[in-house]
Each structure stands twice: as structure tokens, then as C-alpha cells.
Amino acid sequence: MATGTPTRALFMLFGGTGDLALRKLYPAIFNLYKKGSLSNDHFALIGLSRKELTDDEFRAKIIDSVSSEADQPEQAQAFASHFYWKSHDVTNNDHYSELSDLADQLEAKYATEGNRVFYVSMAPRFFGIVAQSLHDQGVLSTNGGFNRLVIEKPFGRDYASAKELNDALTSAFNENQIYRIDHYLGKETTQAIPVLRFGNPMLEAVWNHEYIKDVQVTLAEKLGVEDRAGYYDTAGALRDMIQNHTLQIVSYLAMDQPNSFVDTEIRREKVKALESMEIYDAEGVKQNFVRGQYGAGPDSVPYREEPGVPSDSNNDTYAAGKIVFNNHRWGDTPFYIRSGKKLADKQGRIDIEFKKPLVDIFAKGTKQPAELQGNVLSFYIDPKIGVTLSVNTKDSEQGLHTETIDLNYLQGADRAAQVPLPYERLFHDILTGDGTYFASWPEVAAAWKFVDPVQKLWDQEPGDFPNYESGSMGPKAADDLLARDDNQWYWPHNVH
């Protein structure tokens, strides 16, 4: 269902026939069109890349891209009729002048009220030049509508390159016009974290080091590098999954309560949390971070034998770490994070482990009960969606025996199928100007400052690779990391 007045907008999509655009972006815009969040009459999209295409050829690609979401073929055709193609080299200034003329024409034709969304879905080296050229060559709207710039990942390779990119973007757009995409923030469960925390005083009252033993964030993939070696071998798990998605999730878990649920307030609290992470020196990195690279497994070749991967690659396909927050809320409660490829299962999940009861009064009886366990609140991000809470209760046998059960809210297939896809949610927020689920620059900067010393050490010292079997749960050192604190990964060891 649409909420509010449908937004009028002219989109300009750089990388208009790229993989991401065809697989994710057009279906997302189409769903907003179907649901009425995007005005059905007053929108148009200009697709851009160096390719020479006619409008009809471009529209055929669009129909193909959205056909599985369409109620009838006519709906996809009507949608595609708003699409225009322009061959455009992002390094050629003349092309921006032509783009500006086309944008003016379409703006008049579709009465889009000067609202322009520039989506840069291209290799990151082009992000800065596109933003600056849009500004310098006069493609930004001056008619009183909005100009919003959407940037794909990755946002830099380290703090220095991210800052350089951000400086380029902010020379052309204000921070509040920039939407840095992190599609994990468009996921149902990620968006539920603040509501579960700040909507339930019962939870927020115990959301601190006094009651929480540790927090675990896992983004595990079953797939390997597939056909992305060209990009992935220069990135690795730390840059590809930890610096952005994982630390963003951590920020929602660790932040203090914002004064109100508006993006400026939320961002302020997220930044405070991220900036209070302890930054490790080289010795701290060795103690608190673990890297891995997958070896062979049943039906799997080692990473170093994957197509396009150098046979001596030092790239991390797995990263785990311990975060310590230097703040009052978290004190000595560690956050453990991990992400890797070729693991035993695909699971995006968060496990909040609460402390055990200080006194186990049942253990003093004569009835031989099971040991009481600490409660565990688990958020299921992907592929399952939902929340479970483990609690101690009595079993149904004669006499008093305790057992641990899960209070369980996992969405069934029907409801899960209704959940908007991440890019649809994020496009909706771009159109309504809501930056709640986008990474702000100070957050990105804090995350890079935390990750940089880890990456630096890993670049300097080759890893002892491969060090985990494909289809396993990652390197043993990642289990040892928790064992040193007398902890254990909750998943898969302790899940009921």
C-alpha cells in the first residue's frame, strides 16, 4: 500500500544496463510504481552508460527485468514507456550538457516538479566524477524540487580513500542530499531492531553490560566468490561485509535511544556508538581479529583455485573480530562479529546473550534439574525473518526439572513473501527524503577508522591460508577468540 502522496520524480541512473540495475533496481522502482508510492503519471527515468541503445531497446530490457513482478504484461509496458536511454560517457563534459537538456524536456513532459534522483550504479572510481560533473555541468535541478544523489557500495577502500570520495561528493551535494546505499539496512529485521529496543521498555531496561553477557553478529554465506573474483580479491570479507553491513547493524544494537525517530537524531546516536569502539594497535588486532580463507571442501575447490583468483592470493574470505565499546552502556560486554564465504549455511543473525541468574535456586534442590541458561534474544535477518527469545521454564515431567525453550516469532513464507525487498524500501525512503536507513559520512568514517588497522596488518603479513574447509564454520581461531573470554558462538553450537 502507498503511504502519503505519490512522489513525482525524474531518475537518472548511471550504469543503466548494469547487473545491479537490471536485477534489483528496476524491479524495486516498479514495485513502488505498482503500490502507488511513485506517481504513475509523473515520473520518468533516463538510463545512462556508454552503450548505444534506442529507447525501445532499453524499454525491452526494462520489461524483461520487471516482468516477474507484473500483474499483467500491459502493466510492465506502461511502466517501461516512462524510460529513456542516453548514451553517456561519464568522463565527457558535453554529454552532461546533453543530459541536462533531455532532463529539462522530460521534466516538462512528465511534470516532475524539479525532483531529481541521480543513482550512480557504476564502478566506484566513477562516483566522484559523476557527482562533480552533475554539479559543474548544470544537471542539478534549480526549479525548487529536490536533488538526491544515491551512491552504491563500496564507499572507499580505507579511511583516506573514503574521505577523498566524500570530499568529492560534498563539493557538489550536501550531506543531507547524499544517500549511501547499504542494502542490509533495507532488510526487515535490521529495521525492526530500533523498534524492538525502544518500543519495549522491558528490553531497553536490560540493554546494557549489567545484563548482557555478549552480543554476536553473524553474516554467513554458503556461496563462494562465484564470478566476482575481479572485485572480491581486491576487497575481502573485512571490507566487503564488516566495515559496512556488519558495523551498521552493530550501530543499531549499540546506540543510545535517540530523542525522536528521525534520521538526524538516529544518526547522531549511531555515530556516538561507532566512535566509542576501541581502535586496536597491531598487537590488539592480533588478539581481537581473525581472518580466514577457504580451502577445498566436499565438491568445492579452494579459493585460490577459483576462476580469476591468483594462486597466491592473500585475500580474506572470512573475518571475525571482537569489539569493545569504551562507554558506560557496554562496559566490559564484548560484541563479536563475523562474516565469511563458503560456510556451512547461509545465515544473517544476531544473538544477544544475557547473563545467567546470579543464583540458581533450583540447583540447590534434590530434583536434579538442568542448569539454568542465560536468556538469548536472536534476530533472524536472512534468509529467515523473525525474532526468538530463549527462556528457562519447567519441563512437563513429574517433579521439578528445568528446560530452556524458545519463544518464537519467525515469519511464515506467506508473510515473508509480502515483505518489500531491501532496494524497494530504500528507494521509497530516497523518494520521501528519509535518511534513517542510510549510512551518514561520520558513521562511514568511524567504521573505516576502526577497520583500517586490521586491514593494514593483514596487508603487511600474509595469512596462513587456506585455514578453513569449505562448508565448515570458519577457522578454529574464531572459536578460540570467544573461548578466551569463556564464551562460544551461539550459532550453531547452542541453537535449540
Residue 427: CB minimum distance to ligand NAD, A:
14
Residue 98 in marked binding region: no
Instruction: Quote the CA–CA distance of 268 and 255 in Å, as a whole number.
Output: 9
Instruction: Quote the CA–CA distance of 404 and 371 in Å, as a whole number.
Output: 9
Site string (129-158) toward ligand NAD, x via CB under 6 A: -----------------------xx-----
The 8-class DSSP code of residue 63 comes to H
Considering the complex, state which of residue 150 and residue 309 has its C-beta at the smaller distance from ligand NAD: 150
Instruction: Quote the CA–CA distance of 77 and 298 in Å, as a whole number.
Output: 46
Residue 476 in marked binding region: no
Active-site residue flag, 245: yes
90 binds ligand NAD (CB under 6 A): yes
Residue 90 in marked binding region: yes
124 binds ligand NAD (CB under 6 A): yes
How is residue 253 written as a grid cell?
A: 544494537
CA angle 424, 427, 428 (to 5 degrees): 85
453 binds ligand NAD (CB under 6 A): no
233 binds ligand NAD (CB under 6 A): no
Q: Identify whether the C-beta of residue 103 lies closer than 8 Å to the C-beta of residue 46.
A: yes
Considering the complex, state which of residue 8 and residue 183 has its C-beta at the smaller distance from ligand NAD: 183
Residue 449 in marked binding region: no
19 binds ligand NAD (CB under 6 A): yes
17 binds ligand NAD (CB under 6 A): yes
91 binds ligand NAD (CB under 6 A): yes
Sign of the Cα pseudo-torsion (327, 442, 163, 451, in order): positive
The 8-class DSSP code of residue 343 comes to B
- The piece of 16-24, 96-104, 249-257, 419-427 that touches ligand NAD (CB under 6 A) is 16-24
How is residue 21 written as a grid cell?
A: 540495475
Considering the complex, state which of residue 121 and residue 373 has its C-beta at the smaller distance from ligand NAD: 121
Instruction: Quote the CA–CA distance of 54 and 76 in Å, as a whole number.
Output: 18
20 binds ligand NAD (CB under 6 A): yes
52 binds ligand NAD (CB under 6 A): no
The alpha carbon of 448 is separated from its chain's Cα centroid by a whole number of angstroms, namely: 15
Q: Identify whether the C-beta of residue 351 lies closer than 8 Å to the C-beta of residue 249.
A: no
In total, the chain counts a number of residues equal to 496
Instruction: Quote the CA–CA distance of 179 and 469 in Å, as a whole number.
Output: 38
Considering the complex, state which of residue 122 and residue 277 has its C-beta at the smaller distance from ligand NAD: 122
Q: Identify whether the C-beta of residue 418 lies closer than 8 Å to the C-beta of residue 19.
A: no
Site string (32-51) toward ligand NAD, x via CB under 6 A: -----------------xxx
DSSP string, 423-466: HHHHHHHHHHT--TTS--HHHHHHHHHHHHHHHHHHHHS-----
Residue 315: CB minimum distance to ligand NAD, A:
16
Residue 89 in marked binding region: yes
How is residue 165 written as a grid cell?
A: 570520495
Residue 230: CB minimum distance to ligand NAD, A:
10
How is residue 285 written as a grid cell?
A: 588486532
- The piece of 87-95, 269-277, 285-293, 462-470 that touches ligand NAD (CB under 6 A) is 87-95
Residue 37: CB minimum distance to ligand NAD, A:
23
Instruction: Quote the CA–CA distance of 1 and 397 in Å, as a whole number.
Output: 49
CA angle 431, 32, 429 (to 5 degrees): 30
Of 42, 61, 88, 304, the one binding ligand NAD by CB under 6 A: 88
Question: Residue 252: which of 449, 488, 439 has the closest Cα?
Answer: 439
Which residue among the candidates 82, 95, 245, 428 is catalytic per the annotation? 245
Considering the complex, state which of residue 15 and residue 224 has its C-beta at the smaller distance from ligand NAD: 15
Residue 240 in marked binding region: yes
Considering the complex, state which of residue 79 and residue 184 has its C-beta at the smaller distance from ligand NAD: 184
226 binds ligand NAD (CB under 6 A): no
Q: Which residue is nearest to ligand NAD (CB)?
A: 18
Of 7, 31, 75, 121, the one binding ligand NAD by CB under 6 A: 121
- The piece of 17-25, 378-386, 425-433, 463-471 that touches ligand NAD (CB under 6 A) is 17-25
Residue 23: CB minimum distance to ligand NAD, A:
6
Instruction: Quote the CA–CA distance of 98 and 83 in Å, as a whole number.
Output: 17
In degrees and rounded to multiples of 5, residue 31 shows phi and psi of -65, -35
Residues near 483 by Cβ (< 8 Å), separated by ≥ 6?
none
Could you list the residues that contact ligand NAD (CB under 6 A)? 15, 17-21, 49-51, 88-91, 121-124, 152-153
Binding-site residues from annotation for substrate: 183, 187, 221, 240, 341, 346
User: Which residues are known catalytic residues?
Assistant: 245
